[in-house]
Amino acid sequence: MNRLNSVAKKIVFALSIFSFLILAASCNNKSSHSNLSANTSEPTNNALFNKYKLDKITLPEGFKISVYAEVPNARSLCVSPAGTVFVGTRNDKVYAIPDKNNDGNADSVYEIASGLNSANGVAFKDGSLYIGASSTIYRMDNIESNLANPPKPTVVYDQFPSDAHHGLRYISFGPDNKLYVGVGAPCNVCIPTKPYYGTICRINADGSGFEIYASGVRNSVGFDWNPDTKEMWFTDNGRDNLGDTIPSDELNKATHAGMNFGFPYCHQGNIPDPEFGKGKNCADYTPPVKLLGAHVASLGMRFNKENKFPAEYKNAIFIAEHGSWNRSIPDGYRVVVLKKDSTGNYSDPIPFAYGWLQDNKEANGRPVDVQFLKDGSLLVSDDYNGVVYKISYKG
């Protein structure tokens, strides 16, 4: 009897170990719902506001900033029509932040993909999330119904370069339903050795129809389409090592396919490159629409299409400045705005949200991308703190 009892105990013990292993294995397959904080309530927000020293951030009168969610290495942002925010990173992971009850607060943070190579780019179309990770564009279908148990990303296209230098893909769907993909030059400054280096390319959503859309682009990691004209506007980062004040980052406008924006021959529309500009004429290339400042690292940009900020911000352009490294006095580390006047012209960049750089010392935050939500507020990603902020107008 005792012996039987002890056998039974052993079986029960073995079974419980077995079921624990099954449970652990199944947990591994699921997306980690993790301990990342989303700002689901005001008391939580107060703690996160203090944690990230948001009292140091200056905004125009009537605006406020809060933490939307903590997301490690938060980089590119996109949002679905239902309000789910997707966040790419410089590392292997992609995150999703749903707001199912539409209250303007993040419900939670899901890790939905991992094991990718620099999963920086995110774009959403027809229920599918597209991810730009180095050489490869992936797709995750019906993703919003499967945030807790996401499908394995499938390959859409895998012929982009895998260089580490300027190798973070920025991707976005244009009004023509094509996926636009930034492909940086694999260097500070160099002659492109392959046609797609230093370009913005586009492909169909199924991966077919590859073409180069714009060339002479050093490294664009931010573009959007003008809501009035449907033209593509994009940021481009100026080259390094020509001093503190030149060349400027650029805001460019592509009105059609096939335009050349000057890199590496001509910088900011009027500075021939000391090495590669010999025998070239800046007038042969499309100059920028706006100069954004040297070394500020202008990354993500969006037009304000929601237009729920005051009228002076109607269709304004917001740009995230990641901040300088190649400058004796640091610059950038803020969000700037270019306002549109009554004649349709855009202003020079005006600081909109700043204070991540205090006293020109070490930065305590680095904006990467900007994205409007349907409620009219502006999200800002920060890969230094691993946070997505929300800037809203409180009146």
In angstroms and rounded to an integer, the radius of gyration of the C-alpha atoms of the chain is 23
From 105-113, 160-168, 318-326, 351-359, give the range in contact with Ca ion by CB under 5 A. Answer: 105-113
Measured distance CA(395)–CA(393) in Å, rounded: 6
Q: Which one of 92-100, 144-152, 200-208, 273-281 is the stretch in contact with Ca ion (CB under 5 A)?
A: 92-100
Q: Which of 197, 233, 261, 318 binds Ca ion (CB under 5 A)?
A: 261
Stretch that binds Ca ion, among 56-64, 75-83, 261-269, 321-329 (CB under 5 A): 261-269
11 burial (CB, 10 Å; 0-12 / 13-18 / 19+) is exposed
Closer by beta carbon to Ca ion, 9 or else 100: 100
Query: Does residue 262 touch Ca ion according to CB under 5 A?
Result: yes
Q: Which is nearer to Ca ion, 104 or 351 (CB)?
A: 104
Closest to 70 in 3D by CA, of 41, 48, 94: 48
Comparison of 241 and 343: residue with beta carbon closer to Ca ion: 241
| End-to-end CA gap in the chain | 79
Tell me which of 6, 19, 101, 245 binds Ca ion, using CB under 5 A.
101
Buried b (16+ CB within 10 A) or exposed e, 353-384: bbbbbeeeeebbbbbbbbbbbeebbbbbbbbb
Size of the site for Ca ion (CB under 5 A): 8
Least distance (Å) between residue 117 CB and Ca ion: 28
Q: What are the two backbone dihedrals, phi and then psi, of residue 11, each rounded to the nearest 5 degrees?
A: -65, -45
Nearer to Ca ion, 147 or 205 (CB): 147
45 binds Ca ion (CB under 5 A): no
Query: What 3-state class would DSSP assign to 11?
Result: helix
- Is the CB of 40 or the CB of 307 nearer to Ca ion? 40
- Which among 378, 395, 387, 393 is positioned nearest to 335, based on CA atoms? 378
Of 194, 190, 201, whose CA–CA distance to 223 is shortest? Answer: 201
Question: What character string, x for contact with Ca ion (CB under 5 A) and - otherwise, covers 196-235?
Answer: ----------------------------------------
Candidate residues 99, 273, 369, 382; the one interacting with Ca ion per rule CB under 5 A? 99
Least Cα distance to 245 among 271, 283, 280 occurs for 271
Nearer to Ca ion, 109 or 140 (CB): 109
> Cβ of residue 249: shortest distance to Ca ion, in angstroms?
10
| Range 107-146, binding Ca ion (CB under 5 A) | 107
- By CB under 5 A, tell whether 103 contacts Ca ion: yes
Residue 351 C-alpha from the chain's centroid: 19
d(CA 167, CA 184) in angstroms, rounded, equals 6
Q: Which stretch binds Ca ion (CB under 5 A): 118-126, 153-161, 254-262, 370-378?
A: 254-262
Residue with tokens 């050795």: 193
- Please, what is the minimum distance in Å from the beta carbon of residue 218 to Ca ion? 7
Between 105 and 298, CB nearer to Ca ion: 105
Which residues have a Cβ under 8 Å from the Cβ of 105 and sit 6 or more positions away? 38, 39, 40, 41, 68, 99
- Shortest approach of Ca ion to residue 256 CB, angstroms? 17
Whichever of 156 and 221 has its CB closer to Ca ion, that residue is 221
On the question of a cis peptide bond just before residue 227, with omega within 30 degrees of 0, the verdict is no
Shortest distance, position 376 Cβ to Ca ion, whole Å: 16
d(CA 25, CA 328): 51
CB 286 within 8 A of CB 262: yes
Q: Which stretch binds Ca ion (CB under 5 A): 79-87, 153-161, 246-254, 323-331?
A: 246-254
With CB under 5 A as the contact rule, which of the stretches 61-69, 154-162, 249-257, 299-307 interacts with Ca ion? 249-257
**Alpha-carbon dihedral angle through residues 367, 368, 369, 375, given to the nearest 10 degrees:** -30
Which residue is it, tokens 């199924």?
206
Least distance from C-beta 247 to Ca ion, angstroms?
8
Name residues contacting Ca ion, limited to 315-344 (CB under 5 A). none
Site string for Ca ion, 54-73 (x = CB under 5 A): --------------------
Q: Contact positions toward Ca ion, by CB under 5 A? A: 99, 101, 103, 105, 107, 250, 261-262
